[in-house]
Amino acid sequence: MLTAQEIYAEELENQGAWFGTGDYQPMLDSFGTILAQEDEANYQGDSLVLYQSESRFGILSFGWGSCSGCDALQACDSIEEVEELRLELFNSIKWFDSLDEALVYLNEHDWEGDFIDQDLRTDFVSKATKALNAIKTTETLALKQQNQNQKENS
Protein backbone atom coordinates (compact mmCIF):
# COMPACT_ATOMS: atom_id res chain seq x y z
CA MET A 1 0.00 0.00 0.00
CA LEU A 2 1.26 3.46 -0.87
CA THR A 3 2.26 5.94 1.82
CA ALA A 4 0.93 9.49 1.97
CA GLN A 5 4.29 10.70 0.66
CA GLU A 6 3.85 8.50 -2.43
CA ILE A 7 0.16 9.31 -2.89
CA TYR A 8 0.69 13.07 -2.75
CA ALA A 9 4.21 13.15 -4.25
CA GLU A 10 3.20 15.54 -7.02
CA GLU A 11 1.69 18.04 -4.58
CA LEU A 12 4.81 17.86 -2.42
CA GLU A 13 7.08 18.32 -5.44
CA ASN A 14 5.08 21.22 -6.88
CA GLN A 15 4.76 23.05 -3.58
CA GLY A 16 8.17 22.28 -2.14
CA ALA A 17 6.53 21.92 1.27
CA TRP A 18 3.21 20.68 2.58
CA PHE A 19 0.44 23.24 2.19
CA GLY A 20 -2.38 20.76 2.36
CA THR A 21 -4.90 19.16 0.07
CA GLY A 22 -8.60 18.61 0.21
CA ASP A 23 -8.64 15.70 -2.23
CA TYR A 24 -9.35 12.37 -0.56
CA GLN A 25 -9.68 10.47 -3.85
CA PRO A 26 -5.98 9.61 -4.36
CA MET A 27 -5.90 8.22 -0.82
CA LEU A 28 -9.13 6.26 -1.33
CA ASP A 29 -7.81 4.84 -4.61
CA SER A 30 -4.72 3.51 -2.82
CA PHE A 31 -6.74 1.27 -0.47
CA GLY A 32 -7.83 -1.24 -3.14
CA THR A 33 -10.02 -1.53 -6.20
CA ILE A 34 -13.09 0.64 -5.79
CA LEU A 35 -16.21 -1.28 -6.85
CA ALA A 36 -18.74 1.37 -5.79
CA GLN A 37 -18.50 4.84 -4.29
CA GLU A 38 -21.07 7.40 -3.25
CA ASP A 39 -20.19 10.89 -2.04
CA GLU A 40 -22.59 13.51 -0.83
CA ALA A 41 -22.88 16.26 -3.43
CA ASN A 42 -22.47 19.07 -0.95
CA TYR A 43 -19.80 21.21 0.68
CA GLN A 44 -19.65 18.71 3.56
CA GLY A 45 -20.98 15.24 4.15
CA ASP A 46 -20.17 11.56 3.99
CA SER A 47 -18.60 9.10 1.59
CA LEU A 48 -19.22 5.37 1.31
CA VAL A 49 -16.79 3.14 -0.59
CA LEU A 50 -16.87 -0.57 -1.45
CA TYR A 51 -13.45 -2.11 -2.03
CA GLN A 52 -12.03 -5.34 -3.33
CA SER A 53 -8.53 -6.26 -2.27
CA GLU A 54 -7.58 -9.69 -3.58
CA SER A 55 -10.31 -12.01 -2.25
CA ARG A 56 -11.54 -9.63 0.47
CA PHE A 57 -14.23 -6.98 0.24
CA GLY A 58 -14.40 -3.89 2.43
CA ILE A 59 -16.64 -0.94 3.19
CA LEU A 60 -15.36 2.47 4.25
CA SER A 61 -17.67 5.13 5.62
CA PHE A 62 -16.30 8.53 6.60
CA GLY A 63 -17.33 12.16 6.87
CA TRP A 64 -15.63 15.25 5.52
CA GLY A 65 -16.08 18.98 5.76
CA SER A 66 -15.55 22.20 3.89
CA CYS A 67 -12.74 23.77 5.90
CA SER A 68 -9.79 22.90 8.12
CA GLY A 69 -12.02 23.30 11.16
CA CYS A 70 -14.35 20.49 10.11
CA ASP A 71 -12.34 18.33 7.71
CA ALA A 72 -9.56 16.02 8.86
CA LEU A 73 -7.53 16.13 5.63
CA GLN A 74 -7.68 19.91 5.29
CA ALA A 75 -6.64 20.20 8.94
CA CYS A 76 -3.39 18.28 8.34
CA ASP A 77 -0.39 20.57 8.75
CA SER A 78 2.20 18.10 7.52
CA ILE A 79 2.56 15.05 5.32
CA GLU A 80 3.15 13.06 8.53
CA GLU A 81 -0.35 14.05 9.72
CA VAL A 82 -1.75 13.01 6.34
CA GLU A 83 -0.05 9.63 6.82
CA GLU A 84 -1.71 9.29 10.24
CA LEU A 85 -5.09 10.07 8.69
CA ARG A 86 -4.44 7.61 5.84
CA LEU A 87 -3.74 4.84 8.36
CA GLU A 88 -6.78 5.79 10.42
CA LEU A 89 -9.06 5.64 7.36
CA PHE A 90 -7.55 2.38 6.12
CA ASN A 91 -7.92 0.79 9.55
CA SER A 92 -11.58 1.83 9.68
CA ILE A 93 -12.45 -0.19 6.57
CA LYS A 94 -14.74 -3.06 7.58
CA TRP A 95 -13.30 -6.07 5.75
CA PHE A 96 -15.18 -9.23 4.83
CA ASP A 97 -13.55 -12.54 3.96
CA SER A 98 -16.14 -13.35 1.31
CA LEU A 99 -18.42 -11.68 -1.17
CA ASP A 100 -21.44 -13.27 0.52
CA GLU A 101 -20.48 -11.77 3.90
CA ALA A 102 -20.27 -8.33 2.29
CA LEU A 103 -23.69 -8.78 0.67
CA VAL A 104 -25.25 -9.81 3.97
CA TYR A 105 -23.76 -6.77 5.68
CA LEU A 106 -24.96 -4.40 2.96
CA ASN A 107 -28.49 -5.68 3.19
CA GLU A 108 -28.79 -6.22 6.95
CA HIS A 109 -26.72 -3.39 8.43
CA ASP A 110 -28.55 -0.65 10.37
CA TRP A 111 -27.62 2.19 8.02
CA GLU A 112 -30.01 4.59 9.79
CA GLY A 113 -28.00 4.14 12.97
CA ASP A 114 -24.93 5.45 11.12
CA PHE A 115 -26.63 8.85 10.65
CA ILE A 116 -25.83 8.86 6.93
CA ASP A 117 -28.11 10.68 4.49
CA GLN A 118 -30.88 8.30 3.37
CA ASP A 119 -30.44 8.97 -0.36
CA LEU A 120 -26.68 8.50 -0.09
CA ARG A 121 -26.92 5.17 1.73
CA THR A 122 -29.75 3.92 -0.53
CA ASP A 123 -27.74 4.74 -3.66
CA PHE A 124 -24.60 3.18 -2.17
CA VAL A 125 -26.29 -0.05 -1.08
CA SER A 126 -27.90 -0.37 -4.52
CA LYS A 127 -24.64 0.22 -6.44
CA ALA A 128 -22.56 -1.93 -4.09
CA THR A 129 -25.06 -4.80 -4.22
CA LYS A 130 -25.12 -4.66 -8.03
CA ALA A 131 -21.31 -4.67 -8.17
CA LEU A 132 -21.02 -7.67 -5.86
CA ASN A 133 -23.78 -9.57 -7.64
CA ALA A 134 -22.03 -8.95 -10.98
CA ILE A 135 -18.83 -10.46 -9.56
CA LYS A 136 -20.79 -13.38 -8.15
CA THR A 137 -22.45 -14.01 -11.53
CA THR A 138 -19.09 -13.84 -13.31
CA GLU A 139 -17.54 -16.28 -10.84
CA THR A 140 -20.49 -18.66 -11.16
CA LEU A 141 -20.30 -18.61 -14.95
CA ALA A 142 -16.53 -19.20 -14.86
CA LEU A 143 -17.01 -22.16 -12.51
CA LYS A 144 -19.70 -23.64 -14.75
CA GLN A 145 -17.43 -23.23 -17.77
CA GLN A 146 -14.55 -24.88 -15.90
CA ASN A 147 -16.78 -27.82 -14.93
CA GLN A 148 -18.00 -28.13 -18.53
CA ASN A 149 -14.41 -28.13 -19.82
CA GLN A 150 -13.44 -30.83 -17.30
CA LYS A 151 -16.36 -33.01 -18.42
CA GLU A 152 -15.41 -32.58 -22.07
CA ASN A 153 -11.78 -33.49 -21.36
CA SER A 154 -12.73 -36.62 -19.39
pLDDT at residue 18, as a whole number: 61
Percent pLDDT > 90 in the chain is: 57
pLDDT at 20 over 80: no
Judged on CB neighbours under 10 Å (0-12, 13-18, 19+), 102 is: buried
Contact at 8 Å (CB) between 60 and 92?
yes
* Rounded CA separation 26/43 (Å): 19
Q: How confident is the model at residue 79 (pLDDT cuts 50, 70, 90)?
A: confident
pLDDT at residue 66, as a whole number: 86
